[in-house]
Amino acid sequence: MASSSIASIQKSFTYDVFLSFRGEDTRTNFIDHLYNALQQQGIYTYKDDEAIRKGKRINDELISSIKDSKFYIIVFSKNYASSAWCLDELVMIMECHKTTEHTAYPIFYDVEPTEVRNQSGAVGKAFAKHENDEAAGKWKEVLKEAADLAGWELKNTANGHEAKLIQKIIEEISLQLRSIDFNADEKLIGMETRVKDAVSSLEIGTDDVRVIGIKGMGGAGKTTLARAVFDQISFRFEAKSFVENVRENSNTSLSGLKSLQNQVLKDALFDQGINVSSVHDGKIMMKKMRNKKTLLVLDDVDHIDQLEALAGDLNWFKPGSRIIITTRDEQVLVAHRVKLILDVNLLSNKEAIGLFSRYAFGGEIPIQGYEELSEQVVRYAAGLPLTIKVLGSFLCGKNKSEWIDALERLKTIPLKETLQKLELSYINLEEDYKEIFLNVACLLKGWSKPVVIEALESCGFHATNGLRVLEQKSLITITGKYYEVVGMHDHIEEMGRNIVRRLHPDKPQKHSRLWIDDEIKDILANDLGTKATRYIQFQLMGGNFEMVMKGLRKMRELRFLHISRNTRSNFAEERKYDNVSQYFPNALQYLHWSRYPFWSLPNTFQANNLVTLKMEWSNIKQLWEGGERKVLNKLKILDLRYSKLTTLDLGSSPNLEALSLRGCRHLVQLHMLNGYPNLKSINLSESKLKTIDLHSCVNLELLDLNECNALVELHMPGKCLNLRSLTLTNSQLRTLDIGWTPNLVYLNLNHCYDLEDLHMADKCQKLTSLNISHSKLKTLDLGLTPNLMNLDLTECKNLVQLHVPIGCLEDLVHLDLTRCLRFTSFMFDKRNVASSRKDESLEIDPSAESHLIAKSLETCPLHPDNTLRQFQFECFYIDDPKDCVTRNLKKLIYEGLCACTNLETLSESICGLRCLRKLKLEAYPEAPKELDHEECLEVLSFSRTNMKRLLDSICMLKHLEVLQLKHCWSLEKLPEDIGRLECLKNLTLLDTKIKHLPDSICMLKHLVFLELRDCSFLEKLPEDLGQLECLETLYLLYAKIEHLPDSICMLKQLRTLAVHCSSLKTLPKDLGQLECLETLYLSYSVIKHLPDSICMLKDLKQLDLIHCSLLEKLPEDLDRLECLQRLSLRKCKLLRDFPISICKIKRLESLGVEGTCISHLPQDICFMKGLRISGSRGLLESCGFTSEIQTVSYEDTCFVDV
């Protein structure tokens, strides 16, 4: 949106430039050249011997021309100051320059600025004749002012080359004029940042030939952006050409590409006589542009042939040239080796309102009374400029009832003009890609990418490549770093669904895809199914399951069936089939029925084509009715998670790739007799299987047997070369042979209490994480796992010894031997190892953070000559020696230094560890006395100690970054000079008796995290807390504080502020100055009002006001919180009113109003797509929600997803 501050700049001027000069010095050379250059660039210029209307006094005309010019170019020459006429001009120019509407530029042609400023040299001689003139004083003043302005000096700017100086002047004036035009152009609202980014990417001025692509969906503003960039920078190039509608113009006739080549050549070479006879001839002629630095824009390209004809070789262009290509299809750019591709972002809500208002109202904001209707339009447009412009133009001048009618119509009838534009991307797709697109639009939008691929491949599509093509053509989006989701703009979704429905708009039974629940219910209930239907997805709300099965009878070509049931409902009563409902179409390839109510699949279903079968949380007890066995040659994915399955025979499913029976707590038998060469993933966790035979699963990659607590026998393949992860916890196994697993990375055998023997056929070179805690292992040979990073042997009470060949464990960062009460030593195997010192050393990566927790270890000889690095030192003080033999610890090696650490001498001995970086003392009676010797200490943590004060010597730790004081119940005071900890980033005080913080704490300039929790005696914070300029997180929980210091508003980097203080009465009135704040949590306070400035928190994403029992109202301008995603008002018992502005917060995802006195919500909240509202059932019903209301089982709370 154009800012209001630009309004004054957008005054209409008669002239762009006014030239002020002394004619006898410059008219016939420099001025004429400058004037002609300005005119050639379309810069309308006033020169005193032209454009003067006859019959009028020249002085009046001159004054008017000066006032009606945007820019002034004052050419100071030797005799300029001799002319009273020129000096009067200068007075008027400088008066205008002082306003914001005009700008003056001095040019020092054959004089220096000091001569003009001081009237010395040639300028002084010329001015001498005016010394006695009445206006001399004023003239001297304006000469000095003009000489102080930024301008150009011929001899210094261009080494005396007039042509180069003129070029610089042209560039500056053109740039300024384009900036003004850009801000004044209603089409460019929201484009300013995008244009800057594009221009920056072009790096104009470098001598390479650079090509950038601009990619985006139809109607997103690619052409607008390219045109804006072209208009802003074209003056910098010797030749320029903007080729519009390349796709359309190249396809209209056989000569389409030739005519486009003609256009480029004519534009660039200024030769209208050029005639291209063939595309090949055109490519040869393109080489004529080698001598001109060219700006070329190719708009709406959709085929590589077009680029090869118009910009096929960078050698056609002179160094410094720039080529901009816009397209919907990223693959065209990739194929042309375009290295830099810019995505066109859709408009933000603010930008969209501005653009819509331009077209609908002719202004920058909606007119009074139309604000909410405008918001609805913009919400429908979803940031797409094309839709915004079309609707703005359509609604312009219409009354409210017409607006409401138009918006209501859009709910069922899409906008034709938008659909036609968007459908161009669909028309040129290959047929199978069209089918994939329609499936995403109608069924799969919002699904995770792996599940979309699974569904599409089940139906016979090449999904991975297909999705990539659709993404490149800007028809879908794939977002998310760790959890990729397939998305699609609302209007593209609308376009796809319209394609499916438009041939038979009133006969959904003839549609290829069905997704509207009411239509599907009607078709099934009335047995209207046809062979036309191939794909169905719907949510089954009721319990008429027989109706569904019967209604599918006529859909003989149905390939895809996805039925979901409300997750709140429990299993339906177990059902058997009756004689009329036993039907699934045999053409089905993908069948997913969540909470399937029947005991089994009907025997009438042959399933010859079935690829994926998913029935999680179902009532299935056996796969086929009566235990019948069917051959399922095509079945690849079987998912019966949390079903009631008791037995399963997979002997006739040889091509299975993934099996999930997780949570099948009744499963006691699994038959897997034949080979399964494709089976990669098995999850049998939480089952009751006693024996699992996986001999035939030689290509397994993932095996999850978590919580299989009945498991006694597991038979693994002798070779399982692809296995990467094996989880087997809480089993009854005594021995485990995992065979040859060279690619195993993760092995978890936690809580296998009876496990005595673990056998590996060979080294697991890639194993990095091994957990064998709570087992009966006595010894473990770590030579088979040389690259371990994490080893957990917690509570292996029989463990006595670890075998550690020299050279192993180089990457180990965590070793836990807690409660291994019999463990006494590491045994080093030096056989076949050279005796050199280097070979015997055990090195640890110095950048790793390593832990050694071994309370019963008498010595720590991990390396014979005590050179082990980087193990974290953790000390525990135990009063009862029977609980642990920590007191027997004789030696600790840390950073190559040793220290005696008998607990009796801990204070003295620990201070000898000069390279110690981390020290954690738990349940130790007092702090070491001379910690200032630990000059490398970075982390210091005390917990459960009885010390009353922290020693002042701690303030000498110049490298300390983290200080944690947890459950130090007697601690009453911090050192007064704590501010001397210049590197401190993290300070945590938890459960102390501290009443006041020392003022010097405000000197901690690098403090990022401050937590004051359960400090119930803390009454106030330092007044200068705002000096913590790097603070990002502040937790103030369970303290006696009544007021926060006003200076807290100066914390410009603060992102999280959490306050839970039952005595807190007010918040600082300037809280809105916390410009980076993202999370504000206030609970159990006695605040009555929030400061209005809270609405200025533009980056705030989460606002929680919980149990603020006296809070009576919220600020009216909540919609200014543009980034707000979560608003919780739980248990604010006096809160009755809700500002209507809440409906304008476009990013709001969660609204909690449970436990308040709010009796109704604004009606427009029903249109806030994606919002979850939680509150009482009565409140939600007052908004018109009924069947959508869901219940949280563990609370008396309801919620609804809009």
Q: Which whole number is the average pLDDT over 217-242?
A: 87
pLDDT above 70: percentage of residues in the chain: 84
CB of 686 closer than 8 Å to CB of 708: yes
List helix spans (H) across 68-191.
84-97, 113-118, 121-127, 136-147, 154-157, 162-184
Q: Which whole number is the average pLDDT over 712-735?
A: 94
Which pLDDT band, with edges at 50, 70 and 90, does 253 fall under?
low
Whether residue 420 is predicted with pLDDT greater than 60 in this model: the reply is yes
Q: Which whole number is the average pLDDT over 784-789?
A: 86
List the one residue out of 390, 367, 387 whose CA is nearest residue 379.
387
Which pLDDT band, with edges at 50, 70 and 90, does 1041 fall under?
very high
Q: Which whole number is the average pLDDT over 620-645?
A: 91
Q: Give residue-wise pLDDT tens across range 517-547.
A: 889 999 998 989 999 999 999 988 766 787 8
Hey, do 4-177 and 185-343 end up sharing a CATH topology, with the first three levels equal?
Answer: yes
- pLDDT attached to residue 27: 57
Residues present in the chain in total:
1202
Q: Which whole number is the average pLDDT over 418-423?
A: 82
Chain mean pLDDT for the chain:
82
DSSP symbol at 601: B
Q: Which whole number is the average pLDDT over 377-385?
A: 85
CB neighbourhood size of 597 (10 A): 19
**4-177 is classed CATH 1.20.1630.10:** no
CA separation for the pair 795, 778 (Å, rounded): 12
Q: Give residue-wise pLDDT tens across range 975-1027.
A: 999 999 999 999 999 999 999 999 999 999 999 999 999 998 998 999 999 99
Whether residue 610 is predicted with pLDDT greater than 90 in this model: the reply is yes
> Which of 12-16, 310-314, 367-371 is predicted with the least confidence, judged by mean pLDDT?
12-16
- pLDDT attached to residue 188: 65
Which pLDDT band, with edges at 50, 70 and 90, does 250 fall under?
confident
CA separation for the pair 658, 1159 (Å, rounded): 50
- pLDDT attached to residue 725: 96
Whether residue 784 is predicted with pLDDT greater than 80 in this model: the reply is yes
The pairing of beta strand 210-215 with beta strand 103-108: unpaired
- pLDDT attached to residue 385: 86
Q: How far is CA 792 from CA 502, 613, 703, 775, 786, in A?
A: 62, 38, 20, 11, 15
> Which of 255-259, 510-514, 656-660 is predicted with the least confidence, judged by mean pLDDT?
255-259
CB of 1163 closer than 8 Å to CB of 1140: no
- pLDDT attached to residue 1189: 74
Which pLDDT band, with edges at 50, 70 and 90, does 641 fall under?
very high
**What is the reported pTM?**
0.64
Q: Which whole number is the average pLDDT over 689-713?
A: 94
- pLDDT attached to residue 508: 93
Which pLDDT band, with edges at 50, 70 and 90, does 3 fall under?
very low
Whether residue 832 is predicted with pLDDT greater than 50 in this model: the reply is no
DSSP symbol at 750: T
CB neighbourhood size of 427 (10 A): 7
- pLDDT attached to residue 157: 76
CA separation for the pair 738, 728 (Å, rounded): 11
Q: Which residues are tagged catalytic?
A: 89
- pLDDT attached to residue 846: 31
Residue at 921: amino acid letter: L
Burial tier of 205 (Cβ tally within 10 Å: 0-12, 13-18, 19+): exposed
Dihedral angle sign, alpha carbons of residues 932, 937, 939, 943? negative
Q: Give residue-wise pLDDT tens across range 82-113.
A: 888 889 889 999 998 887 778 899 999 888 99
Q: Which whole number is the average pLDDT over 1081-1097?
A: 91
> Which of 249-258, 446-455, 595-604 is predicted with the least confidence, judged by mean pLDDT?
249-258
- pLDDT attached to residue 1081: 95
- pLDDT attached to residue 1192: 63
Whether residue 56 is predicted with pLDDT greater than 80 in this model: the reply is no
- pLDDT attached to residue 916: 63
> Which of 196-205, 791-800, 884-893 is predicted with the least confidence, judged by mean pLDDT?
884-893
pLDDT above 90: percentage of residues in the chain: 36
Q: Which whole number is the average pLDDT over 1021-1041?
A: 93
Angle at 894 between CA 891 and CA 898, to 5 degrees: 40
Dihedral angle sign, alpha carbons of residues 56, 58, 60, 65? positive
- pLDDT attached to residue 281: 84
Which pLDDT band, with edges at 50, 70 and 90, does 434 fall under?
very high
List the one residue out of 1106, 1048, 1043, 1104 whose CA is nearest residue 1072.
1048
Buried b (16+ CB within 10 A) or exposed e, 957-993: beebbbbbbbebeebeebbeebbbbeebbbbbbbbbe
Q: Which CATH architecture has domain 418-501?
A: Orthogonal Bundle (1.10)
The pairing of beta strand 1197-1201 with beta strand 1190-1192: antiparallel
Q: Which whole number is the average pLDDT over 313-332?
A: 91
- pLDDT attached to residue 98: 84
CA separation for the pair 479, 173 (Å, rounded): 43
> Which of 166-170, 1077-1081, 1083-1087 is predicted with the least confidence, judged by mean pLDDT?
166-170
Burial tier of 701 (Cβ tally within 10 Å: 0-12, 13-18, 19+): middle
- pLDDT attached to residue 488: 87
Query: Which of 53-67, 577-591, 1112-1126: highest mean pLDDT?
Result: 1112-1126
CB neighbourhood size of 547 (10 A): 17
Whether residue 900 is predicted with pLDDT greater than 70 in this model: the reply is no
- pLDDT attached to residue 545: 80
- pLDDT attached to residue 182: 53
**185-343 is classed CATH 3.40.1350.10:** no
- pLDDT attached to residue 284: 87
Whether residue 1103 is predicted with pLDDT greater than 60 in this model: the reply is yes
Q: Which whole number is the average pLDDT over 285-300?
A: 90
Whether residue 806 is predicted with pLDDT greater than 90 in this model: the reply is no
Which H or E run contains 212? strand 210-215
For 1040, the token pair is 């006696």
Whether residue 266 is predicted with pLDDT greater than 90 in this model: the reply is no
Which pLDDT band, with edges at 50, 70 and 90, does 575 fall under?
low
DSSP symbol at 366: P
> Which of 152-161, 321-330, 1015-1024 is predicted with the least confidence, judged by mean pLDDT?
152-161
CA separation for the pair 315, 854 (Å, rounded): 69
Whether residue 1180 is predicted with pLDDT greater than 90 in this model: the reply is no
- pLDDT attached to residue 1067: 92
CB neighbourhood size of 878 (10 A): 16
Whether residue 785 is predicted with pLDDT greater than 80 in this model: the reply is yes
Whether residue 565 is predicted with pLDDT greater than 90 in this model: the reply is no
- pLDDT attached to residue 252: 62
Query: Which of 407-416, 614-623, 775-784: highest mean pLDDT?
Result: 614-623
List the one residue out of 171, 36, 8 whose CA is nearest residue 102.
8
Burial tier of 654 (Cβ tally within 10 Å: 0-12, 13-18, 19+): middle
Higher pLDDT, 563 or 816: 563
Whether residue 756 is predicted with pLDDT greater than 80 in this model: the reply is yes
- pLDDT attached to residue 983: 93
- Sequence spans of domains, the chain: 4-177, 185-343, 349-413, 418-501
Whether residue 207 is predicted with pLDDT greater than 50 in this model: the reply is yes
CA separation for the pair 887, 767 (Å, rounded): 34
The pairing of beta strand 962-966 with beta strand 1102-1106: unpaired
- pLDDT attached to residue 847: 31
- pLDDT attached to residue 661: 96
